[in-house]
Amino acid sequence: MLYDIVVNNGTIIEPKREVQTVGNIGIKDGKIAVVCREKLQGKEMIDARNKIVCPGFIDIHSHLNFPLYPVWLSAKQGITTCLSGNCGMTPEMPIKAYLESMEEKGYPINFATLVGHSWTLREMAGIRDPHAAASPSQIEEMTKIAERALEEGAFGISLGLEYAPGAAPEEYMPLAELASKFDKLVAIHIRTDALDFARGLKEAISISEQTGARVQISHLAYQFGVHPEVTQMALCMIDNAAKKNLPVLCDSGIYEAFATFVKSAVFDDGWHERYGCQISDLMISTGKYAGQRATPEMIEDIKKYEEETVGTAFVGVIPDLALAIKQPYTMISTDAGLSEKPGNGHPQDAGTFPRVFQRLVREQGALSVMEAVKKSSYMPAKQMGISDTKGWIGTGADADLVVLDIKKVKDNADYVGIGRPDASPSGIEYVIVNGVTIVSEEKAIEDRLPGKILRQKNKVWTL
């Protein structure tokens, strides 16, 4: 048989069965047709000798949408599928029309979305003040909109409780119950962080306890600030949830600084005291102040006139990143997509997954190659409910693959004002999406848009 693509001689990392071996992969019609040691011939031949061949990375926490600039940054770091709509922000509504428009335009990678509560649903219900509580009629309206979004293919509900301090349990629990009914995901950016972490983490875990929902704690390493003991206490709480067999998992990035909108409630007065840092520890990453350290006057001006400006807060503890990520319940995520043009944003958009393999695998030995691949592919595939065809390597699996050189893989991106946040990584040599090569020899082929727009059907949960 003449295959569409053949990947020869690679060190295959298969996370579903935890198999590491050497072999050849034949791809036909968007699927993996064979994995063997027989010589294969293809229209496109990739020699992966001494290279790792693994499932494409599945970014379980992103904010990707349009334009395609940040999407191609994701593709070049090995991401073949993303889950957008996190932190309570849905890219566009209604879901049905949005997903159909994406299919018409074309997309480089596979795309799925959650329906967001704390920005999107609240705004659609007429709530403009993040500190305001929803009325019974607004709660009913949000629940109806969310149910329709789930019917139209959304993969679950996202709560950004830190962005909506006024949201009480009476407001979000009907949404969690709705997701639980269909065994769909509830992704939660918790309400409190830094020294006040325990209240928000307890609230998130209780959602799973009360509804049975599959809960995902968002960007674990970013939530706990500059206090090392806080991360350890948070992990203890999550460990206890795991011991109760609660379906609670986490996602985490691997940078010491997080990025979000300066106008958000995260940066309400006193935020820096909560983290034990200075206002100048906030770097403005987009807009007219990009690359400058924040001042009170600058923040006030941005909140009045620059709605979409993103800031990067340097509040994390670098050693705690490995501690958070190596836990058996933690997956890798980027939180990417908030920057829309070259030269601004956060390096996570370009370098998260390469940084994991560079720092935690090659340099620190905190993760094995198999562990890093599993946290980047099969675990998020299971969490999303797409592991029947994605997140593993074998006959019948979707041909979403990454070929990387573990000796060379390197994150070259850096923060605005320090380096280039959109610098392409080294060592991610080939990326294949649905049987189409979109990155070849580390270069993106931007006229290829083989990504599929994913929808998840509603299926009532039964034991």
Task: Give 242-265 as a DSSP string.
Answer: HHTT--EEEEE---SEEEEETTSG
Helices (H), 377-452: 378-384
Q: What are the pLDDT digits (tens) for 353-367? A: 999 999 999 999 999
pLDDT for the residue numbered 317 = 67
**Tokens encoding 228:** 């090392």
Q: What are the pLDDT digits (tens) for 94-119? A: 999 999 999 999 999 999 999 999 99
| Banded pLDDT at 232 (limits 50, 70, 90) | confident
pLDDT for the residue numbered 315 = 81
Q: Are 56 and 330 in contact (CB under 8 A)?
A: no
CA 215 to the chain's CA centroid: 15
Q: 135-149, 160-174, 254-268 — which is least confidently predicted?
A: 254-268
State how beta strands 19-28 and 31-36 pair. antiparallel
Tell me: pLDDT of 277 over 90: no
Tell me: pLDDT of 80 over 80: yes
pLDDT for the residue numbered 308 = 87
**Percent of residues, the chain, with pLDDT higher than 70:** 98
pLDDT for the residue numbered 318 = 67
Mean pLDDT in residue range 407-426? 95
Give dist(CA 435, CA 330) in Å, integer.
Answer: 29
Give dist(CA 56, CA 48) in Å, integer.
Answer: 15
User: What domains are defined for the chain?
Assistant: 2-54+396-443 (2.30.40.10), 56-256+317-384 (3.20.20.140), 257-315 (no CATH)
pLDDT for the residue numbered 225 = 58
**What type of residue is 96?**
K
pLDDT for the residue numbered 340 = 73
pTM, two decimals, is 0.96
Q: What are the pLDDT digits (tens) for 123-144? A: 999 999 999 999 999 999 999 9
pLDDT for the residue numbered 226 = 59
Tell me: pLDDT of 266 over 70: yes
CB neighbour list of residue 130: distance below 8 Å, 6 or more residues apart? 118, 122, 163, 164, 165, 166, 264, 265
Give dist(CA 204, CA 200) in Å, integer.
Answer: 6
List Cα–Cα distances, 418 to 267, 423, 451, in angstroms. 23, 12, 33
**Best CA proximity match to 359, nearest among 217, 221, 228:** 221
**Tokens encoding 107:** 């997309």
Average pLDDT, the chain: 95
Give dist(CA 345, CA 446) in Å, integer.
Answer: 21
CA 351 to the chain's CA centroid: 13
Positive or negative CA dihedral for 194, 198, 200, 204? Answer: positive
pLDDT for the residue numbered 319 = 59
Mean pLDDT in residue range 137-157? 98
**Tokens encoding 146:** 């969310």
Polymer length of the chain? 463
pLDDT for the residue numbered 168 = 97
Tell me: pLDDT of 256 over 70: yes
Q: What are the pLDDT digits (tens) for 320-365? A: 788 889 999 999 999 999 877 888 899 999 999 999 999 999 999 9
| Banded pLDDT at 379 (limits 50, 70, 90) | very high
List Cα–Cα distances, 261 to 187, 340, 439, in angstroms. 19, 13, 31
Q: Are 184 and 456 in contact (CB under 8 A)?
A: yes
Give dist(CA 56, CA 437) in Å, integer.
Answer: 12
Give dist(CA 413, CA 417) in Å, integer.
Answer: 12
Q: What are the pLDDT digits (tens) for 194-230? A: 778 899 999 999 999 999 999 999 998 877 655 777 8
| Banded pLDDT at 440 (limits 50, 70, 90) | very high
In the sheet with 257-261, reading across from the earlier edge strand, the strands are: 257-261, 310-314, 282-284
CA-based R_g, the chain, Å = 21
**Percent of residues, the chain, with pLDDT higher than 90:** 86
Phi, psi of 55 (to 5 degrees): -60, 150
**Tokens encoding 292:** 């400058």
